[in-house]
Amino acid sequence: MYADLHAHTTASDGSATPTELVRQAAALGLSLLAVTDHDTTGGVAEAMRAAREAGVRLLPGVELSAEGPPGKCHLLGLGIDPGHAGLNAKLEQLSAARRARAARIVERFQALGVDLTLEDVDAATPDGANVGRPHLAKALLQKGAVATMQEAFDRYLADGGPAYVPKMVLPPAEAIALIHDAGGLAFLAHPGLLKLDAGETPRDRLLALRNLGLDGVEAYYSQHTLPQTDRYLDLARDLGLLVTGGSDFHGANKPGVPLGVVTNGHGVPLDALPAILRDWSAGG
């Protein structure tokens, strides 16, 4: 029995609707799935309904970007209450900031002589979704300004690119507290992709985040090598952190990252996850 506890839907920057995601998980034989959209729980209710119909157990989740001491990172909130008022108030603030950011990026494109409007971006963004750079890339593709979405990032939208605008993020301490207030557990996402400071080790970063209340680490991740997985399993054990794992599935918006393929060609074995995650699920 396998799990995938890191997946995105059309509520943020995935290409599959919440229902489609759950049905894919069921077809793959996954027994436990987490929906972890960026800065929103907008897809969770639909996913939970689909999970009950499909016989898949579901963990409500969210992925938050964080920056500030001890560094830039992404945090997964697993087992959250998607109806938590404090969480939703902050997510609405982040969503509004995303919209304002998209408008500023459009202004940069226009200054670069690229014919792009906010209406074009809206047309490329699913109803109710949190707008992000993939939607801007899709809008450019639909306008014929680029040949591929990757070209849109390479030429314009990547960090430091000519159309790049940083997004609003939370300090790690605030993001962790927000997840805890909503009843969830906070995990450092894809630690193997962290950009560490000079002289900083993965252990240093995990220890600093643990001191802020971090509960665990995504040791199993689709883009980790086996040595990386082993390293983060060892660090989790040494530091008393829980372990999770996921693919970071985005569908067609992130080609080459299939749902349910996390480690050794399959999902995370359920018995490799802590009991609190195995048992803390709804649906099915």
The CATH number of whichever domain residue 131 belongs to comes to 1.10.150.650
What is the per-residue pLDDT for 127? 87
Alpha helices in the chain (DSSP H): 18-27, 44-54, 85-111, 118-123, 133-143, 149-152, 172-181, 202-211, 226-239, 275-279
Q: Is the pLDDT of residue 283 over 80?
A: no
- Residue 201 belongs to a domain with what CATH number? 3.20.20.140
- Is 163 a member of any domain? no
Q: Is the pLDDT of residue 147 over 60?
A: yes
- Is 170 a member of any domain? no
One domain for residues 245 and 194: yes
User: pLDDT tier at 229 (50, 70, 90 boundaries)?
Assistant: very high
Is residue 84 within 8 A of residue 59, CB to CB? The reply is no
One domain for residues 151 and 199: no
Separation between Cα atoms, residue 22 and residue 28, nearest integer Å = 10
One domain for residues 149 and 179: no
Mean pLDDT of the chain: 95
One domain for residues 118 and 94: yes
Total of domains in the chain? 2
Separation between Cα atoms, residue 79 and residue 165, nearest integer Å = 31
One domain for residues 179 and 59: yes
What is the per-residue pLDDT for 281? 56
Domain that holds residue 234: 2-80+175-279
Q: Is the pLDDT of residue 284 over 70?
A: no
Query: What's the pLDDT tens digit per position in 159-181?
Result: 999 999 999 999 999 999 999 99
What is the per-residue pLDDT for 282? 46
Who's near 123: CB < 8 A, 6+ residues apart? 139, 142
Averaged pLDDT, 85-108: 96
Query: What's the pLDDT tens digit per position in 176-223?
Result: 999 999 999 999 999 999 999 999 999 999 999 999 999 999 999 999
Last residue within a domain, chosen from 107, 130, 157 = 157
Comparing C-alpha atoms, which of 273, 276, 76 is closest to residue 176?
A: 76
- Is 195 a member of any domain? yes
Query: What's the pLDDT tens digit per position in 97-132?
Result: 999 999 999 999 999 999 999 999 999 998 888 899
One domain for residues 61 and 95: no
- Is 168 a member of any domain? no
- Is 109 a member of any domain? yes
- Is 70 a member of any domain? yes
Averaged pLDDT, 65-81: 95
| pTM score of the predicted model | 0.92
One domain for residues 213 and 147: no
One domain for residues 191 and 266: yes
Q: Give the rounded percent of residues in the chain with a pLDDT score beyond 70.
A: 99
Q: Give the rounded percent of residues in the chain with a pLDDT score beyond 90.
A: 93
H-helix or E-strand containing 204? helix 202-211
- Is 162 a member of any domain? no
